[in-house]
Amino acid sequence: MNNAEPDNPLDYLDNLVTEGEIGTHQRDAGEIIRRLGQHAISNQPHSAVVAFPWRYANGVWTNLFEPKRQVIERYEDAMSAAANDTQRREINRALVARDPDYPQSPTQFAHGLKLIARHWWGSDAVKTTASNGVTLAAVAPPENDNTPTPERQAKGTGRDNFERLYNRGQLDDDRDVAETLYAAGLRYETDYNSGWSGMYGSPDYSKPIVDGGGEARVPISERQQGARDRVRVARRAMTQRYADVVEAVVVNGLSLEEAGRKYSGYKGAMQAQTAAKERLNTGLRALAFHYGISLKRAS
């Protein structure tokens, strides 16, 4: 490893990938183990429903929502796949502990992650592609983008572009699911516009709410503040990985290609579109779950 140890365990995993110490399967397994482990040691009740990122053997990412007790079972089951206590200890210290402690040599750590990845996805799992620190699965490309026609571009809104995606069947292959995702997106867009109507620029979500969220300190109504609070809570439910793309497409009217280039690190049009489409779908599913909108499927 380099002299300087990163503060963020996910950066540590990315560094190991860059240095050829681990592959993307191991990196992905490490990201999931970190979140599972954090939930396992949290003070939340065992009945609480928690969210965590998940990757399937075909390389596709999603967000899962399960009671904490099931998440603990997932975590313990995965850790049992490691070969020995040394591997489990190094994985926990580096990825799960509140104060990360990285091993001097990543050999045992890397092998433990390899066994966990194989336990979850087998030896024939589809590899993900690293791009600017982001791992993304190869997913089916969208049939088309939601880029507005030139005559509509000047007056198009976020809702126009989002509606175009819905009408073209690009939110989800299942029409009933797509309808639910569309409803969740519109609810988010309504809260966003209610909270920040007339504001120049974008909110700074990294700032505490008490600090004005980076916006100009001007009086706002209780209704506006309530809408802003709901948006922030909804973003936490989606996690930033997916919330940024949802907001870019649903609120700001970016095309899938534009959103993919901005947030996934891909430069090619097709890769950017597929990246954004996957994150948009996952984010909207998390949003629907957060809002309590039933995710119906066609019979």
DSSP class of residue 47 equals T
Range among 164-168, 172-176, 242-246 with highest mean pLDDT value: 242-246
**Lowest mean pLDDT, pick from 114-128, 230-244, 268-282:** 114-128
pLDDT at 5: 66
DSSP-derived 3-state class of residue 54: strand
- Give 125-171 pLDDT, tens digit per residue: 665 543 333 444 433 444 445 554 443 343 345 567 888 888 888 89
Which of the pair, 147 or 173, is modelled with greater confidence? Answer: 173
Q: Is residue 130 classed as helix, strand or coil in its secondary structure?
A: strand
**Does the pLDDT at position 290 exceed 80?**
yes
Distance CA 93, CA 98 (A): 9
pTM to 2 decimals? 0.50
Stronger pLDDT, 101 or 221, i.e. the higher one: 101
Per-residue pLDDT at 91 exceeds 80: yes
The rounded mean pLDDT for the chain is 80
Give the range among 28-32, 63-67, 214-218 with minimum mean pLDDT.
214-218
Distance, in Å, from the CA atom of 207 to the CA atom of 12, rounded to the nearest integer, reads: 25
Q: What's the CA gap between 42 and 59, in Å, rounded?
A: 28
Cα–Cα distance, 68 to 147 (Å, whole number): 41
d(CA 251, CA 19): 39
pLDDT digits (tens, 9 = 90+) for 11-25: 899 889 989 999 989
Q: 145-182 in b/e burial notation, b at 16+ Cβ within 10 A? A: bbbbeeeeeeebebbebbebbbeeebbbeeeebbbbbb
Whether 83 contacts 76, CB under 8 Å? no
Residue 50 CA, distance from chain mean position: 14
Question: 294 and 282 in contact (C-beta within 8 Å)?
Answer: no
Instruction: Give the C-alpha separation, 285 to 63, whole Å.
Output: 8
SS3 50: strand
Contacts of 92 (CB under 8 A, 6+ apart): 37, 79
Cα separation values, 38 from 44, 52, 80, 121, 133, Å: 11, 10, 17, 22, 21
Q: Which residues contact 197 (CB under 8 A, 6 or more apart)?
A: 224
User: Residue 195 and residue 187: Cα distance in Å, rounded?
Assistant: 12
Half-sphere exposure of residue 198: CA atoms within 13 angstroms, side-chain side: 5
Tokens of 134: 């982001």
**pLDDT at site 174:** 85
Question: Does 57 or 297 have the greater pLDDT score?
Answer: 57
Q: What pLDDT, on the 0 to 100 scale, is given for residue 134?
A: 40
Distance, CA of 283 to CA of 253 (rounded, Å): 16
Half-sphere exposure of 297 toward its Cβ, with a 13 Å CA cutoff? 3
pLDDT at 198: 55
